Protein backbone atom coordinates (compact mmCIF):
# COMPACT_ATOMS: atom_id res chain seq x y z
CA UNK A 1 0.00 0.00 0.00
CA UNK A 2 2.16 2.77 -1.38
CA UNK A 3 0.39 6.00 -0.66
CA UNK A 4 -1.27 5.17 2.66
CA UNK A 5 -0.26 6.82 5.92
CA UNK A 6 -1.59 5.36 9.18
CA UNK A 7 -1.16 7.78 12.05
CA UNK A 8 0.38 6.12 15.08
CA UNK A 9 0.41 9.24 17.27
CA UNK A 10 -0.62 8.23 20.81
CA UNK A 11 -3.24 10.97 21.09
CA UNK A 12 -4.89 9.92 17.84
CA UNK A 13 -4.85 6.24 18.82
CA UNK A 14 -6.19 6.93 22.32
CA UNK A 15 -9.06 9.01 20.97
CA UNK A 16 -9.79 6.45 18.25
CA UNK A 17 -10.24 3.75 20.91
CA UNK A 18 -12.74 5.95 22.74
CA UNK A 19 -14.53 6.60 19.46
CA UNK A 20 -14.88 2.87 18.74
CA UNK A 21 -16.35 2.17 22.19
CA UNK A 22 -20.02 1.25 21.87
CA UNK A 23 -20.73 3.16 25.10
CA UNK A 24 -19.55 6.47 23.64
CA UNK A 25 -22.63 8.64 23.04
CA UNK A 26 -23.20 11.15 20.24
CA UNK A 27 -21.94 14.17 22.15
CA UNK A 28 -18.56 12.57 22.92
CA UNK A 29 -18.47 10.91 19.50
CA UNK A 30 -18.75 14.33 17.83
CA UNK A 31 -16.10 15.85 20.07
CA UNK A 32 -13.68 12.96 19.50
CA UNK A 33 -14.22 12.98 15.73
CA UNK A 34 -13.37 16.67 15.61
CA UNK A 35 -10.35 16.26 17.89
CA UNK A 36 -8.93 13.43 15.78
CA UNK A 37 -9.60 15.42 12.60
CA UNK A 38 -7.70 18.38 14.05
CA UNK A 39 -4.71 16.22 14.94
CA UNK A 40 -4.78 14.62 11.49
CA UNK A 41 -4.91 18.06 9.85
CA UNK A 42 -1.64 18.88 11.58
CA UNK A 43 0.02 15.78 10.12
CA UNK A 44 -1.58 15.96 6.67
CA UNK A 45 -0.38 19.53 6.13
CA UNK A 46 3.22 18.73 7.07
CA UNK A 47 4.38 19.17 3.45
CA UNK A 48 2.65 22.49 2.71
CA UNK A 49 5.09 24.84 0.99
CA UNK A 50 6.27 27.95 2.83
CA UNK A 51 8.14 31.06 1.78
CA UNK A 52 10.29 33.46 3.79
CA UNK A 53 8.72 36.70 4.99
CA UNK A 54 10.02 39.64 7.03
CA UNK A 55 8.20 40.33 10.26
CA UNK A 56 8.52 43.31 12.58
CA UNK A 57 8.38 42.30 16.22
CA UNK A 58 8.14 44.95 18.98
CA UNK A 59 11.91 44.46 19.33
CA UNK A 60 13.12 44.48 15.73
CA UNK A 61 12.90 42.72 12.39
CA UNK A 62 13.39 39.05 11.62
CA UNK A 63 12.63 36.59 8.87
CA UNK A 64 9.84 34.10 9.41
CA UNK A 65 7.88 31.91 7.03
CA UNK A 66 4.37 32.00 5.71
CA UNK A 67 2.31 29.42 3.83
CA UNK A 68 2.65 29.69 0.06
CA UNK A 69 1.28 27.77 -2.90
CA UNK A 70 -2.26 26.61 -3.42
CA UNK A 71 -4.96 27.36 -0.89
CA UNK A 72 -6.94 24.54 0.68
CA UNK A 73 -10.47 23.26 0.31
CA UNK A 74 -12.12 20.72 2.59
CA UNK A 75 -14.69 18.46 0.94
CA UNK A 76 -16.65 16.38 3.46
CA UNK A 77 -18.72 13.54 2.06
CA UNK A 78 -22.21 13.97 3.54
CA UNK A 79 -23.26 13.13 6.06
CA UNK A 80 -20.56 11.65 8.22
CA UNK A 81 -17.75 13.73 6.73
CA UNK A 82 -19.37 16.78 8.32
CA UNK A 83 -18.17 15.50 11.68
CA UNK A 84 -14.55 16.20 10.70
CA UNK A 85 -14.98 19.72 9.33
CA UNK A 86 -14.89 21.87 12.47
CA UNK A 87 -11.82 20.06 13.81
CA UNK A 88 -9.98 20.70 10.55
CA UNK A 89 -11.11 24.33 10.39
CA UNK A 90 -9.75 24.91 13.90
CA UNK A 91 -6.25 24.89 12.51
CA UNK A 92 -7.03 25.60 8.84
CA UNK A 93 -9.38 28.56 9.26
CA UNK A 94 -8.81 29.94 5.75
CA UNK A 95 -9.86 26.73 4.01
CA UNK A 96 -13.07 26.82 2.01
CA UNK A 97 -15.57 23.99 2.37
CA UNK A 98 -17.37 22.17 -0.44
CA UNK A 99 -19.96 19.47 0.11
CA UNK A 100 -20.59 16.26 -1.80
CA UNK A 101 -23.67 14.29 -0.77
CA UNK A 102 -23.50 10.53 -1.28
CA UNK A 103 -25.22 7.68 0.45
CA UNK A 104 -24.71 3.96 0.04
CA UNK A 105 -27.62 2.08 -1.42
CA UNK A 106 -28.16 -0.58 1.27
CA UNK A 107 -28.81 -3.29 -1.34
CA UNK A 108 -26.11 -2.65 -3.91
CA UNK A 109 -23.69 -0.81 -1.55
CA UNK A 110 -23.07 1.53 -4.50
CA UNK A 111 -22.89 5.28 -3.82
CA UNK A 112 -25.84 7.45 -4.86
CA UNK A 113 -25.16 11.16 -5.35
CA UNK A 114 -27.74 13.61 -3.98
CA UNK A 115 -25.96 16.93 -3.41
CA UNK A 116 -22.96 18.96 -4.55
CA UNK A 117 -21.89 22.50 -3.72
CA UNK A 118 -18.25 23.42 -4.24
CA UNK A 119 -16.26 26.66 -3.88
CA UNK A 120 -16.13 28.54 -7.21
CA UNK A 121 -12.31 28.40 -7.23
CA UNK A 122 -12.09 24.71 -6.26
CA UNK A 123 -9.82 23.79 -9.19
CA UNK A 124 -7.17 26.22 -7.90
CA UNK A 125 -7.13 24.64 -4.44
CA UNK A 126 -5.53 21.59 -2.87
CA UNK A 127 -8.34 19.38 -1.68
CA UNK A 128 -8.78 17.30 1.46
CA UNK A 129 -11.70 14.89 1.03
CA UNK A 130 -13.11 13.97 4.45
CA UNK A 131 -15.04 10.86 5.46
CA UNK A 132 -14.68 8.97 8.74
CA UNK A 133 -15.22 5.56 7.09
CA UNK A 134 -13.55 4.02 4.04
CA UNK A 135 -15.39 0.70 3.70
CA UNK A 136 -15.90 -0.68 0.16
CA UNK A 137 -14.33 2.56 -1.09
CA UNK A 138 -17.29 3.23 -3.40
CA UNK A 139 -18.29 6.55 -1.83
CA UNK A 140 -14.79 8.01 -1.60
CA UNK A 141 -13.88 6.84 -5.09
CA UNK A 142 -17.04 8.41 -6.53
CA UNK A 143 -16.45 11.69 -4.68
CA UNK A 144 -12.87 11.88 -5.91
CA UNK A 145 -13.95 11.08 -9.48
CA UNK A 146 -16.59 13.77 -9.17
CA UNK A 147 -13.90 16.31 -8.24
CA UNK A 148 -11.54 15.14 -10.96
CA UNK A 149 -14.34 15.50 -13.54
CA UNK A 150 -14.52 19.16 -12.57
CA UNK A 151 -10.78 19.57 -13.15
CA UNK A 152 -9.57 19.27 -9.55
CA UNK A 153 -6.02 18.11 -8.86
CA UNK A 154 -3.98 17.63 -5.72
CA UNK A 155 -6.55 15.57 -3.84
CA UNK A 156 -5.89 13.83 -0.51
CA UNK A 157 -8.31 11.50 1.26
CA UNK A 158 -8.57 11.70 5.05
CA UNK A 159 -10.50 8.96 6.87
CA UNK A 160 -10.59 7.81 10.47
CA UNK A 161 -10.97 4.07 9.83
CA UNK A 162 -10.38 2.12 6.62
CA UNK A 163 -10.88 -1.46 5.51
CA UNK A 164 -8.19 -2.98 3.28
CA UNK A 165 -10.85 -3.43 0.58
CA UNK A 166 -11.54 0.31 0.50
CA UNK A 167 -7.87 1.24 0.41
CA UNK A 168 -7.38 -1.14 -2.54
CA UNK A 169 -10.26 0.48 -4.46
CA UNK A 170 -8.84 3.99 -4.02
CA UNK A 171 -5.37 2.81 -4.99
CA UNK A 172 -6.83 1.17 -8.12
CA UNK A 173 -9.15 4.02 -9.14
CA UNK A 174 -7.04 6.98 -8.01
CA UNK A 175 -3.38 5.98 -7.72
CA UNK A 176 -2.28 9.61 -7.36
CA UNK A 177 -4.41 10.25 -4.29
CA UNK A 178 -2.65 9.95 -0.93
CA UNK A 179 -4.71 8.30 1.80
CA UNK A 180 -4.39 9.27 5.47
CA UNK A 181 -6.08 7.14 8.12
CA UNK A 182 -6.02 6.66 11.89
CA UNK A 183 -6.83 2.96 11.80
CA UNK A 184 -6.52 0.19 9.22
CA UNK A 185 -9.01 -2.51 10.24
CA UNK A 186 -9.35 -6.15 9.41
CA UNK A 187 -12.12 -6.56 6.85
CA UNK A 188 -15.72 -5.85 5.83
CA UNK A 189 -18.73 -7.88 6.91
CA UNK A 190 -21.41 -9.07 4.47
CA UNK A 191 -23.23 -5.71 4.73
CA UNK A 192 -20.14 -3.67 3.91
CA UNK A 193 -19.49 -2.61 7.51
CA UNK A 194 -15.94 -2.37 8.76
CA UNK A 195 -14.82 -4.96 11.34
CA UNK A 196 -14.10 -4.12 14.09
CA UNK A 197 -14.77 -0.51 12.98
CA UNK A 198 -17.08 1.64 15.05
CA UNK A 199 -20.50 0.94 13.57
CA UNK A 200 -22.39 3.50 11.53
CA UNK A 201 -20.48 6.77 11.78
CA UNK A 202 -23.33 8.98 10.54
CA UNK A 203 -25.83 7.49 12.96
CA UNK A 204 -23.44 7.75 15.90
CA UNK A 205 -22.52 11.36 15.06
CA UNK A 206 -26.07 12.56 14.68
CA UNK A 207 -27.96 10.19 16.97
CA UNK A 208 -30.18 8.81 14.22
CA UNK A 209 -30.40 5.25 15.45
C1 LIG B 1 -20.93 5.91 5.16
C2 LIG B 1 -19.61 6.60 5.35
C3 LIG B 1 -19.05 6.66 3.97
C4 LIG B 1 -19.56 5.38 3.38
C5 LIG B 1 -18.43 4.39 3.37
O6 LIG B 1 -21.88 6.78 4.68
O7 LIG B 1 -19.71 7.86 5.95
O8 LIG B 1 -19.49 7.77 3.21
O9 LIG B 1 -20.61 4.91 4.22
O10 LIG B 1 -18.83 3.24 2.72
P11 LIG B 1 -18.19 2.80 1.32
O12 LIG B 1 -16.71 2.98 1.44
O13 LIG B 1 -18.61 1.36 1.24
O14 LIG B 1 -18.81 3.64 0.25
P15 LIG B 1 -23.41 6.37 4.50
O16 LIG B 1 -23.66 5.89 3.12
O17 LIG B 1 -23.80 5.45 5.62
O18 LIG B 1 -24.16 7.75 4.61
P19 LIG B 1 -24.25 8.79 5.83
O20 LIG B 1 -22.89 9.42 5.97
O21 LIG B 1 -25.27 9.75 5.36
O22 LIG B 1 -24.65 8.06 7.07
N1 LIG C 1 -20.20 3.26 6.86
C2 LIG C 1 -20.13 3.36 8.21
O3 LIG C 1 -20.60 4.34 8.80
N4 LIG C 1 -19.53 2.36 8.89
C5 LIG C 1 -19.01 1.28 8.29
O6 LIG C 1 -18.45 0.41 8.98
C7 LIG C 1 -19.10 1.19 6.89
C8 LIG C 1 -19.70 2.20 6.21
Query: What does pLDDT average to in each consecutive run of 10 residues of the chain (209 residues)?
Result: 88 98 98 98 94 98 95 97 98 97 88 94 97 96 95 96 98 97 98 97 96
Residue nearest to atom 3 of ligand 2 (CA): 200
Ligand 2 atom closest to residue 200's alpha carbon, by position in its atom list: 3
Choose which residue among 192, 195, 208 to substitute to test ligand 2 binding: the one with the highest number of ligand atoms within 8 A of its C-beta. Answer: 192
- Is residue 150 left, alpha or beta, with left meaning phi > 0 and alpha meaning psi from -120 to 50? alpha
DSSP tag of 132: S
Ligand 2 binding pocket includes 42 (Cβ within 6 Å):
no
The answer to whether the CB of 180 falls within 8 A of the CB of 40 is yes
What local confidence, expressed as pLDDT, does residue 9 receive? 96
What local confidence, expressed as pLDDT, does residue 1 receive? 55
Q: What is the dihedral of CA 199, 31, 96, 44, to 10 degrees?
A: -80
Q: Is the dihedral of CA 205, 183, 141, 39 positive or negative?
A: positive
What local confidence, expressed as pLDDT, does residue 195 receive? 98
Q: How far apart are CA 37 and CA 33, in angstroms?
A: 6
What local confidence, expressed as pLDDT, does residue 131 receive? 98
Query: What is the SS3 string spanning 58-74?
Result: CCEEEEEEEECCCCEEE
Q: How far apart are CA 183 and CA 81, in angstroms?
A: 16
Q: Is the dihedral of CA 69, 71, 73, 74 positive or negative?
A: positive
Identify the burial level of 120 via C-beta atoms within 10 angstroms of its C-beta, where 0-12 means exposed, 13-18 middle and 19 or more buried.
exposed
Give yes or no: 104 in active site: yes
Span from the CA of 44 to the centroid of ligand 1 (angstroms):
22
Q: Which ligand is nearest to the CA of 77?
A: 1
Ligand 1 binding pocket includes 79 (Cβ within 6 Å):
yes
DSSP three-state, residue 167: helix
What local confidence, expressed as pLDDT, does residue 192 receive? 95
Amino acid sequence: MGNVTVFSHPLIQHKLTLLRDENTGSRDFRALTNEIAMLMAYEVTRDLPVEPVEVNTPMGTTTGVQLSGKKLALVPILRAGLGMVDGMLNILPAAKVGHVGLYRDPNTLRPVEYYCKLPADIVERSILVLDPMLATGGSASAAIQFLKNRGCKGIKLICLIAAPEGVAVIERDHPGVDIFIAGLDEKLNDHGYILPGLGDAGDRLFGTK
